[in-house]
């Protein structure tokens, strides 16, 4: 990856430190609580609600913090161990999968939410990373949580696809039937030593290809929201790899990011928030609440959900794909919109379309987490380095035939 100037890296480190603070201060830090180690979904609203995806990113924050000496190694080890104990001993699991949202103190299900395969996947990625970095009991506990997951239970054998969600009241719903953020699930699922799915599950989801102007052959997601091209890449180093059909998922995310920016530039007359330095349409908070409908072409969606909202996590989460363009955007936000900056770095989003500019008052764990991991990967490659050491991650990529095009790439 091409390096950016030193001044830009100072801002990246400042944002990184803010991200780390989010996961430390928004955690349940009471070791006597049944919810010890759980981390809030949002920094302001619903303070009693944790997200298991936030916990996955929080485990990564402990790795980053210990490596950068922002937290003592012994303290980080203890927090990681206690967090995994909470999941092993106190949280309700269904065939190894966990509820998406849970109460910060009790660990009980919140908002009548689903048993989530993708959020369990993000949590398990964080656990695997922590296991590789800290070793010892943490690695043992992470592996036990991984082995508990019955991936076949969450698979619809009629179409050989993972279901999208499950609730005790309604059963299974939807399917991961086309490309989105779920690549991690196939890598983890096929490599399971206890309940593996067949590698054909990777073949049986749609991979639609389209162009956007001069940007050709993008395997795109339904509404082109940028996080779908980021989440799995935050953990798995897809650089210099292709699958057996020739898809290079890293280069695909580069192209999707460039298309996202191009779309924002081309629609800057419609939305004054959009522009060459204000891009990165992704799921985030907006003036009307949280939305996953902010996206760019190419997409199947008509993108009627776009209202001019932009999240800094769009550009920050793509820093490994488009370093210079992402850095220009982050500097633009920092220099021109001081209300967008807070105690945890960039707030979730902003929108200039109304009578008065709108700024999110809070941060969301999944957006802070994606930004944090991608910035660390850009600066040092730390997350990729340790996650890719895991024997099951290696096995999963091998079974899916996503292999190096040449020799292994040099991290960062």
Distance (Å, rounded) from C-alpha 12 to C-alpha 376? 9
- Which tokens is 336 given? 């021109």
Q: How far is CA 29 from CA 20, 24, 72, in A?
A: 15, 8, 15
1 lies in some domain: no
381 lies in some domain: yes
Q: How far is CA 187 from CA 41, 71, 197, in A?
A: 26, 31, 10
Q: Which of 255, 253, 260, 258 lies closest to 297 in space, CA to CA?
A: 260
- Which tokens is 169 given? 């009241």
Distance (Å, rounded) from C-alpha 130 to C-alpha 83? 11
411 lies in some domain: no
- pLDDT at residue 397, rounded to an integer: 98
- Please answer whether residues 317 and 227 qualify as being in contact, where contact means their C-beta atoms are separated by less than 8 angstroms: yes
Q: Which of 310, 308, 309, 327 lies closest to 374 in space, CA to CA?
A: 327
- pLDDT at residue 3, rounded to an integer: 56
Distance (Å, rounded) from C-alpha 272 to C-alpha 352? 7
- pLDDT at residue 409, rounded to an integer: 44
60 lies in some domain: yes
What is the rounded radius of gyration, in angstroms, for the C-alpha atoms of the chain?
Answer: 20
- pLDDT at residue 84, rounded to an integer: 98
- pLDDT at residue 97, rounded to an integer: 98
Distance (Å, rounded) from C-alpha 163 to C-alpha 258? 30
196 lies in some domain: yes
- pLDDT at residue 405, rounded to an integer: 74
Number of structural domains found in the chain: 1
- Which tokens is 73 given? 């190694």
- Which tokens is 90 given? 């106190």
Distance (Å, rounded) from C-alpha 180 to C-alpha 301? 14
- Domain containing 42 equals 6-404
pLDDT tens string, the chain, 412 residues long: the values are 665 555 789 999 999 999 999 999 999 999 999 999 999 999 988 999 999 999 999 999 999 999 999 999 999 999 999 999 999 999 999 999 999 999 999 999 999 999 999 999 999 999 999 999 999 999 999 999 999 999 999 999 999 999 999 999 999 999 999 999 999 999 999 999 999 999 999 999 999 999 999 999 999 999 999 999 999 999 999 999 999 999 999 999 999 999 999 999 999 999 999 999 999 999 999 999 999 999 999 999 999 999 999 999 999 999 999 999 999 999 999 999 999 999 999 999 999 999 999 999 999 999 999 999 999 999 999 999 999 999 999 999 999 999 987 644 444 4
Distance (Å, rounded) from C-alpha 338 to C-alpha 244? 47
365 lies in some domain: yes
Burial per residue of 64-84, b for 16 or more beta-carbon CB atoms within 10 angstroms, e otherwise: bbbbbebbeeeebbebbbebb
SS (H, E, C) the chain: CCCCCHHHHHHHHHHHHHHHHHHHHCECCCCCCCCCCCEECECCCCCCEEEHHHHHHHHHHHHHHHHCCCCCHHHHHHHHHHHHHHHHHCCCEECCEEECEEECCCCCECCCCCEEHHHHHHHHHHHHHHHHHHCHHHHHHHHHHHHCCCHHHHEECCCCEEEEEEECCCEEEEECCECCCCHHHHHHHHHCCCCCCCCHHHHCCECCEEEECCEEEEECCCCCCHHHHCHHHHHCCCCCEECCCCCCHHHHHHHHHHHHHHHHHHCCCCCCCCECCECCCCCEEECCEEECCCCCCCCCCCCCCCCCCECHHHHHCCCCCCHHHHHHHHHHHHHHCHHHEECCEECCCEECCCCCCEECCCCEHHHHHHHHHHHHHHHCCHHHHHHCCCHHHHHHHHHCCCEECCCCCCCC
Other beta carbons within 10 angstroms of residue 45's beta carbon come to 14
- pLDDT at residue 249, rounded to an integer: 98
Cα maximum dimension of the chain:
57
225 lies in some domain: yes
412 lies in some domain: no
Residue with tokens 């990856």: 1
SS (H, E, C) 161-184: EEEEEEECCCEEEEECCECCCCHH
For residue 99, the domain's CATH number is: 1.50.10.140
Distance (Å, rounded) from C-alpha 47 to C-alpha 17? 22
């Amino acid at each position: 990856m091409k390096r950016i100037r030193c001044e830009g890296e100072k801002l990246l480190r400042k944002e990184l430190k803010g991200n780390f603070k989010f996961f430390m201060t928004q955690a349940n830090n009471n070791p006597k609580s049944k919810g010890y180690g759980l981390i809030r979904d949002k920094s302001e609203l619903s303070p009693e609600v944790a997200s298991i995806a936030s916990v996955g990113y929080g485990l990564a924050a402990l790795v980053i913090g210990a490596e950068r000496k922002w937290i003592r190694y012994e303290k980080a080890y203890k927090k990681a161990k206690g967090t995994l104990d909470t999941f092993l001993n106190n949280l309700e699991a269904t065939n190894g999968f966990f509820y998406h949202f849970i109460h910060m103190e009790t660990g009980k299900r919140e908002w009548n939410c689903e048993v989530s395969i993708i959020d369990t996947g993000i949590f398990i990625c964080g656990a695997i990373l922590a296991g590789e970095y800290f070793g010892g009991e943490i690695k043992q506990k992470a592996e036990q949580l991984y082995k508990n997951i019955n991936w076949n239970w969450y698979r619809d054998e009629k179409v050989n696809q993972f279901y999208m969600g499950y609730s005790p009241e309604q059963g299974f719903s939807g399917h991961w039937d086309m490309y989105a953020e779920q690549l991690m699930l196939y890598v983890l699922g096929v490599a399971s030593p206890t309940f593996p799915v067949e590698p054909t599950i990777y073949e049986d989801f749609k991979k639609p290809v389209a162009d956007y102007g001069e940007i050709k052959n993008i395997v795109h997601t339904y509404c082109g929201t940028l996080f779908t091209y980021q989440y799995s890449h935050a953990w798995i180093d897809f650089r210099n790899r292709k699958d057996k059909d020739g898809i290079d998922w890293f280069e695909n995310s580069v192209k999707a990011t460039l298309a996202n920016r191009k779309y924002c530039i081309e629609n800057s007359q419609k939305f004054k928030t959009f522009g060459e330095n204000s891009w990165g349409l992704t799921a985030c908070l907006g003036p009307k609440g949280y939305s996953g409908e902010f996206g760019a072409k190419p997409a199947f969606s008509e993108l009627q959900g776009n209202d001019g909202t932009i999240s800094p996590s769009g550009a920050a989460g793509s820093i490994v794909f488009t370093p210079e363009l992402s850095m220009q955007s982050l500097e633009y936000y920092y220099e021109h919109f001081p209300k967008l900056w807070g105690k945890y770095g960039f707030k979730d989003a902003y929108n200039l379309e109304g009578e008065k500019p709108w700024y999110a008052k809070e941060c969301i764990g999944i957006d802070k987490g994606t930004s944090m991991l991608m910035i660390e990967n850009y600066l040092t490659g730390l997350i990729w380095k340790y996650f890719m050491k895991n024997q099951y991650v290696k096995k999963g990529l091998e079974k899916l035939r996503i292999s190096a095009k040449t020799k292994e790439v040099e991290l960062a």
